[in-house]
Amino acid sequence: MFPSDRRYTRDHEWARVEDGRARVGIAAFAAERLSDIVFVELPKVGAEVQAGQAFGVIESVKAASDLYAPLSGRVVEVNQAVIERPEAINEDPHGAAWMVVIEMSDPKEWESLLDAEAYAALVGELQS
């Protein structure tokens, strides 16, 4: 259920490294939990984000939640398509509905993220 080509935070974001940069989105579990996502607020290209700090907001009909950066660095790409069509996050959270690409400032942070197996275990606990 959770692709093993990336790592995850305990707050349900994912990050996948591509040519030294990290593409970031939210995990299907979170998208499903939020359900009916209608709004997303993302930083601008050039913004600096800090691992563990909020970098955006995602809103479902029911509630607003912060998005937490899995890694520190500078935002080099923002997915305008999800800003314009937030419901895409419910449809394809691990694929087309990525949110930002981060130029990592501290690649060591990668090691502290959960691999797919550890993340699946965390989700299992939350579901039980």
Partner 1 sequence: MTAAAALRRTPLHEAHRAAGGRMAPFAGWELPVQYAGLVEEHLAVRSRVGLFDVSHMGEVAIEGPGALSAVQRIITNDAGRLREGEGLYSPMCNPAGGVVDDLTLFRTGHAEYLLIVNAATRAHDVAWIQEHASPARVRDLSDEVALLALQGPRAAAVLEAATGASLAALPAFHRSGGLMVAGVGVAVSRTGYTGEDGFEIASAWDEAPRVWEALVEAGRAYGLALVGLGARDTLRLEAGMMLYGQDIDETTTPLEAPLAWTVKFDKGDFIGRAALERQQQEGVARRLVGFEAQGRAIPRHGCAILAGGARVGAVTSGTFSPTLRRPIGMGYVPRAAAGRGGEIEIEVRGALVPSRVVRLPFYRRAREPAGQATEG
Site for partner 1, rule CB under 8 A:
35-36, 38-39, 41, 57, 59-64, 86
Smallest gap from residue 121 Cβ to partner 1 (A): 21
In whole angstroms, what is the distance from residue 42 CA to residue 83 CA? 8
Q: Which CB, 15 or 49, lies closer to partner 1?
A: 49
* Encoded amino acid at 95, one letter: G
- Angstrom distance (rounded) from CA 16 to CA 8: 9
Which residues are CB-neighbours of 124 under 8 A, at least 6 positions away?
none
73 versus 86: smaller Cβ distance to partner 1: 86
Please provide residue 23's backbone torsions phi and psi, each rounded to the nearest 5 degrees. Answer: -85, 135
Identity of the residue, 38 or 47, whose beta carbon is nearer to partner 1 in the bound complex: 38
CB of 126 to partner 1, least distance (A): 12
